[in-house]
Amino acid sequence: MAAILDSVLSQRIDPNKVVEWLKTVQERDSLPFTDRGITVQKHEFVSFLLNFLREQSSPALAHHGTPAKTPNRPRPAAQTGGFSDRRASRSARSGTASRSSSRVQLFSPSSSASPGAECDAAGQSGCLSGVSNFSSPSFSTSWSPASRPPGSERRHSQRVCLGDFMASPPDTQPSPFQSQKSRKKSMAVGAQWRGGRGNQHTDEMGFGDTGTKRPGREGGGHGKSREQLSPPSGGSLNFNNLEDFPPVGSSPISPLTSKPSRRINPTPVSAERPRSKPKTCFTSTPFTKPSSPQMGAEVLEGSMRVGSPLSLQEERELLKREKSKRAQQAASPCLSSLEPCTPPKTGGLGGAKVTPELQPLCPERSKVAYAPELDLLAELYCACISENLVPNIFLELFFVMQLLTSLSPDSNDAEVQDSFSAINSDVLERCYLKQVHNCVYFAVAVLENQFELVAHLDKGTLRLLAENERVASFSPTLRDLLVQAQDKSSAELSPSVSTFIHSVPFQPDTDNRSNFGNDRAFHTFKKQRDVFYEVLREWEDFHNEPGWSFEASLGGRIRGMMNQLTSAGIHSHFARLFLKQLVQMCKGPQMTGSPGEPPDADLLGMLGADSLGRLKRLEERLIQPHGIVGPCPPPSFPGHQEFFRDFIQTSSCCQLNQHLQDSLCQQLLQLDEVSILSPSASIKEEDEDRDMEQQDEKQRFSSVLLLARLLAKFLGFISFLPYQTSERPSREIQDTSAALRSKSAPVLDVCAVLNDSVRRRRTILTVPWVVEFLSMMDFVGPLLPCYRTALGTLLLLYRRMQLKRSADVCFLNNLLLVSVLGWLFHIPAIPEDFFFTAEFRAAVTVEDGNPGLAGLVRRSHIFFSLFFCSCSFISLKCFAGLF
Amino acid sequence: MRLSRAEYKDIVRSTEQLRPTRQCMKMLKDRFPNHSQSTLLSIFSLEYQKRTKRTISRHHAADVIEGHYQREVLPKKHDRKYLNEAKARPTAPVLLEMANEVDLSPALMARLVLDRFLQDMKGEMLSKPVLNSMLKDPSLIPDQVLAKNIYQCTINDCCYGPLVDCIKHAIGEEHEVLLRDKLKERNLSFLDENKLRTMGYDKTPDIILEVPIAVEGHIVHWIESKASFGDDHSHRTYLNEQFWSYWNRFGPGLVIYWYGFIGELDCQRDRGILLKDCFPTDIVTLCHATHQQSPESTEGGQ
């Protein structure tokens, strides 16, 4: 696979041929390379390409800007394209080696690394994933666990980059560097969606680092690393700068640190001193300790920083930054509009020295190197996306947006030289995506190519993109398209509806005395109904209060209820009430977030406000817990669903659970049978009527779909509840458990449901809810034959559902399926190698020659709002943090 | 009448020293001429009940009862002087005066003494129904003087006793009828409590609307009529025992406290319990809404 890329990039093979190969649906999944005698599997190539891009861009996205390699990880001699060579060298390079560091290592392990343990986890990543044992060696760690970034880490990164963004554009020449550095760092943290192994990885590949110096690891202890004198090393970071590196989870930056003392000293500042000290080195509050383990490493890195002698410079830096901030505030409105018209000259560096403060940190099209190669890469990459060869198209989109917003060190000449000099070496070793110019170029190329997909993003994201200066300066055409798409987009995120609870009405048919065995049961249920609502109301009132605990406050009462129910034998009545109430409260579109806050309206509203204020508020939002979600958040129970989940957990009543399961199964299968009308051409009434009818039908379909997803999630939750473990059990335990569990019938025959749905072309309804059900699986679940087969079927569906081939009306249908499936493939419970393993292809036979595989051909049942309701993870929230 | 908590407290303060007598009611009414007599009486009644609850235990103590009883009965039997006096003034409200003297509700005093009297006569505790029937109809009491005293107590008590119970019940009924009439007047179809019971409902508000309405922008499925003043204590009790239970079964609803309530208690509107002191005027029905909307929308179009 490396050979292919190698050949394409060095133009020994016609790229079109490869693209064609990627596009063929035929069984011929492998591409023979006669000239080298290598045969390459398509999925192997894809995972190689994806990892290659990640690797390539890691410096731009990396936070370890330290321009040096660890001595004990010598850069390997130039590689030939051979797979095994490279692989070996990679593993050698990564000191921690591990089975898992194959070429695909960028996608590799340790999604399970907890945020705090990141450094460690990174080191251990190889052994950490029980997954890797389980899979074929060469792909043991093949794809991105990234999807599940540990929450705080992500927040951390988002916060940082947003803050930087606010300050960065008009920064002076020297300070941009600083902010680039920090930004770079933050991006890397953000970029660790590909896995918790960020540190290891960036260390090990210290990519394109110009061999300057590595910040002294010997600096040691956190405490003393503060005020040390900085050697004028390029790109060293100051980790003491709380603004650039806010402590994870800490409360807002203390005013003391963010407002250091300043002295106005009009010493001319030369651009020669770019690696300036960050402003907060010189503060009255000593930096006491890194607030997170993650920062520990950073502080180490920063230990070469030295203090006081430089503090004057720092102050000057500070002053400059302050000034430039003001300049930006004044100038910002016109900035973006000006740029496209006045592309900066290549020789702009000299100018920058003269007027450093007006030099925005701006990727320039003219500085793009390797443009043809980047085009090729983009083409291949887009082919993979278009052909659903990537596990999750939105994850790729997210990556592209990261590239678009990346901040790599502005190429100083030496580095440019260095990277250009690499031309002679292996084409795969060149630094295609190291420079921010290249990243943006590549990102814009991909966005252009995938415009159809991009255009279906929500309005807020489109707006962010359209207003992005980089997009505008690299491709005014794309900008214009985005603006148009934004106007057309109906994909507003509707704020979730009222928070008013509605109760389940008393129905004499099912609830009066005649439905109970005796008076006592009747009266017990009368009381339990009231207790249930009392508990619900109390939860509503208090669950957001700090320190409130469901178990502590309601546990006793709930278990008391269960005892009453058990002694009266009326679980079925309560189960009905419980489910009806669940549906009542949660069937509507639920955005993630608690019911109290109308989540997205707020976020969207901010986009209208003045730029600085809105960024401020955006930032505030983003640092709130759950304020930001990536494109692949783990399954969750937003809003009121949380109550029902906690209730089930707390009551831990097996009778109730059984009744709930029975009822959920029945309702789901009924819903799955609901007729989906295809409005045929037979309707000849006036347009208005037809419109109305279509609207009604869409409404009906949407409510069925949302309801089925809700029920399926809870069915999955209850069914897999007994097997949930917080960590992936060892391989042996998994096997034993799988063997044991495969003997008893699963609660729902998912395979049958799926196959039936495929046959009847109803996947648009069935797949989304099946995905919800499966997303609740425990770690062993995917190993059970029934679910394994179901996953295989879904994977096959996914691969066949290329958006580009969808008729217009079906685009959203397919987009929905592709996104929910892509999301499912990133659920923690799903083995990480799942997507790139080929074993399913034989296992599942879906009738070919069934072009309507993706469901209903003739019309779209999915409309924007439904799409965003169903995939609330793909929204402004997941992208906004990047801008 | 919707009172602010401050107004309400003001009234409560003036009732603290009052006895449950007509004279006292008159005083209260003169003091607050702007408030309706019913509201004042209801507030007083609730307050007086609270006061009684606080103090009743000391009247229930056996020796205290004995004391009352001795004073009332023994003189008649054994003290010739008192008997003579009683005979001389056979209509004198001895028991009523005693009740006022010890600050106990006359009706309750009557009940205590009658109970004690019957114990003496029959030598054993009598069943409550017999006692209640004698209180309702004093002619059943063997001792004529006592019967007269009891009667005086009953009719001079505006807070306790069979007469007051009867009045309260009648007022409650009356307001329910009033409510039904109003609903019929507005052409709103509903199920009343009796109908609901026969259908097997486990909790029954006075009215369930077959088609919900909106009152002041809030949806209303059921209506409960309370011919009393809504103060903190009674409202809390009603919420726990009735209103939330209704909400749990029928959704949001409306409570009418015909004699007013403390305005601050009307804080559950958004949660689905609306308080009013009269039949609402701002009612929107489904047909209303469609009627009103169409002209609006055409206007908007123009």
Could you tell me if B193 and B222 are in contact, meaning their C-beta atoms sit under 8 angstroms apart?
no
- Whether B217 and chain A come into contact, CB under 8 Å, resolves to no
- Give CB contacts under 8 A, 24+ apart, made by B107-110: B107/B135, B107/B153, B107/B154, B107/B157, B107/B159, B107/B160, B107/B161, B107/B162, B107/B163, B107/B164, B108/B52, B108/B56, B108/B59, B108/B160, B109/B59, B109/B68, B109/B153, B110/B135, B110/B149, B110/B150, B110/B153, B110/B154, B110/B161
For B180, B214, B287, the CA distances from B283, given in Å and listed in that order, are 15, 6, 11
Q: Which residues in B lie closer than 8 A to residue A512 (C-beta atoms)?
A: 199-202
- Whether A498 and chain B come into contact, CB under 8 Å, resolves to no
What is the rounded CA–CA span in Å between residue A242 and residue B69?
Answer: 84
Taking an 8 Å cut-off on Cβ atoms, the answer to whether A513 and B200 are in contact is yes
Nearest alpha carbon to residue A305 among A245, A253, A232, A248: A232
What is the rounded CA–CA span in Å between residue A651 and residue A860?
Answer: 42
pLDDT computed for residue A128 by the predictor: 35
How confident is the model over A556-585, as a mean pLDDT? 91
Nearest to A533 among B199, B200, B248 (CB): B248
pLDDT computed for residue A331 by the predictor: 43
pLDDT computed for residue A204 by the predictor: 37
Nearest to B250 among A506, A522, A534 (CB): A506
pLDDT at A777 over 50: yes
More confident residue, A229 or B217: B217
Could you tell me if A309 and A443 are in contact, meaning their C-beta atoms sit under 8 angstroms apart?
no
**Mind telling me how many Å the CA of A617 is from chain B's nearest CA?**
29
pLDDT computed for residue A710 by the predictor: 92
What is the rounded CA–CA span in Å between residue B43 and residue B10?
Answer: 11
Q: How high does pLDDT run on average in chain A?
A: 63
**Mind telling me how many Å the CA of B268 is from chain A's nearest CA?**
11
Nearest alpha carbon to residue A521 among A571, A569, A575: A569
pLDDT computed for residue B230 by the predictor: 94
pLDDT digits (tens, 9 = 90+) for B70-93: 665 544 443 344 344 455 566 677
Residue corresponding to tokens 């991105």: A144
pLDDT band at A314 (very low <50, low <70, confident <90, very high): low
CA A41 to chain centre: 27
What is the rounded CA–CA span in Å between residue A496 and residue A473?
Answer: 37
pLDDT digits (tens, 9 = 90+) for A412-457: 544 444 445 445 556 666 777 777 788 888 888 898 888 888 887 7
Nearest Cα residue in chain B from A513: B200
**Mind telling me how many Å the CA of A534 is from chain B's nearest CA?**
8
3-state secondary structure of B218: strand
Q: B202, B221, B245, B271: which to substitute to probe chain A, counting the most A Cβ within 10 Å?
A: B202
pLDDT digits (tens, 9 = 90+) for A606-652: 344 344 444 444 444 444 433 344 567 778 888 889 999 999 999 99
pLDDT at A541 over 70: yes
3-state secondary structure of B284: strand
- Whether A529 and chain B come into contact, CB under 8 Å, resolves to yes
pLDDT digits (tens, 9 = 90+) for A25-54: 555 555 655 455 556 677 778 888 888 888
The beta strand positions in A52-133, using DSSP E, are none
pLDDT at A199 over 60: no
Query: What would the DSSP string read from start to end of A532-571?
Result: HHHHHHHHHHHTTSTT--HHHHHHHHHHHHHHHHHHHT-H
Nearest Cα residue in chain A from B241: A530
Orientation of helix B106-122 relative to helix B94-102, angle to 10°: 120
pLDDT band at A811 (very low <50, low <70, confident <90, very high): confident
Nearest Cα residue in chain B from A514: B200
Q: Which residues in A lie closer than 8 A to residue B248 (C-beta atoms)?
A: 503, 529-530, 532-533
- Whether A526 and chain B come into contact, CB under 8 Å, resolves to yes
Taking an 8 Å cut-off on Cβ atoms, the answer to whether B245 and A530 are in contact is yes
What is the rounded CA–CA span in Å between residue A319 and residue A659?
Answer: 68
Nearest to B251 among A505, A511, A534 (CB): A505
Could you tell me if A458 and A489 are in contact, meaning their C-beta atoms sit under 8 angstroms apart?
yes
Q: A499, A528, A530: which to substitute to probe chain B, counting the most B Cβ within 10 Å?
A: A530
pLDDT computed for residue A804 by the predictor: 63
Q: Which residues in B lie closer than 8 A to residue A500 (C-beta atoms)?
A: 270-272
Residue B276 structure tokens:
């009013």
pLDDT computed for residue B73 by the predictor: 53
User: What are the start-end ranges of the H helices in B216-285?
Assistant: 232-238, 244-250
- Whether B260 and chain A come into contact, CB under 8 Å, resolves to no
- Whether B248 and chain A come into contact, CB under 8 Å, resolves to yes
Q: Indicate the DSSP class of residue A307.
A: B
pLDDT computed for residue A308 by the predictor: 45
Burial class from Cβ neighbours inside 10 Å (0-12, 13-18, 19+) for residue A451 reads middle
Chain A to chain B Cβ contacts (< 8 Å): 49
Nearest to B202 among A502, A526, A534 (CB): A526
What is the rounded CA–CA span in Å between residue A752 and residue A768?
Answer: 15
Nearest to A530 among B199, B244, B272 (CB): B244
Q: Which residues in B lie closer than 8 A to residue A511 (C-beta atoms)?
A: 200, 202
Q: How many helices (H) and strands (E) does chain A have?
A: 38, 2
Strands B2-3 and B190-192, bridge-based pairing: unpaired
Could you tell me if A248 and A292 are in contact, meaning their C-beta atoms sit under 8 angstroms apart?
yes
Q: Which residues in A lie closer than 8 A to residue B251 (C-beta atoms)?
A: 502-503, 505
pLDDT digits (tens, 9 = 90+) for A46-102: 888 888 888 877 777 664 333 332 233 333 333 333 333 343 333 333 333 333 333
Q: Which residues in B lie closer than 8 A to residue A536 (C-beta atoms)?
A: none
**Mind telling me how many Å the CA of A863 is from chain B's nearest CA?**
26
Q: Which residues in A lie closer than 8 A to residue B270 (C-beta atoms)?
A: 500
pLDDT computed for residue A223 by the predictor: 38
pLDDT computed for residue A283 by the predictor: 34
pLDDT digits (tens, 9 = 90+) for A337-379: 333 333 333 333 333 333 333 344 577 777 777 888 888 888 8
**Mind telling me how many Å the CA of A444 is from chain B's nearest CA?**
44
Could you tell me if A357 and A837 are in contact, meaning their C-beta atoms sit under 8 angstroms apart?
no
- Whether B271 and chain A come into contact, CB under 8 Å, resolves to yes
User: Positive or negative, the Cα torsion across A706, A709, A713, A714?
Assistant: positive
CA B278 to chain centre: 17
What is the rounded CA–CA span in Å between residue A215 and residue A298?
Answer: 10
Predicted TM-score (pTM) of this structure: 0.66
Instruction: Find the range with the poorest average confidence among A91-95, A558-562, A816-820.
Output: A91-95
User: Positive or negative, the Cα torsion across B166, B172, B176, B178?
Assistant: positive
**Mind telling me how many Å the CA of B261 is from chain A's nearest CA?**
24
- Whether B296 and chain A come into contact, CB under 8 Å, resolves to no
What is the rounded CA–CA span in Å between residue A463 and residue A482?
Answer: 8
Taking an 8 Å cut-off on Cβ atoms, the answer to whether A526 and B203 are in contact is yes
**Mind telling me how many Å the CA of A510 is from chain B's nearest CA?**
10
Instruction: Find the range with the poorest average confidence among A130-144, A447-461, B239-253, B285-299.
Output: A130-144
- Whether A537 and chain B come into contact, CB under 8 Å, resolves to yes
Q: A497, A498, A503: which to substitute to probe chain B, counting the most B Cβ within 10 Å?
A: A503
How confident is the model over A238-252, as a mean pLDDT? 42
Nearest to A508 among B199, B203, B248 (CB): B199
- Whether A522 and chain B come into contact, CB under 8 Å, resolves to yes
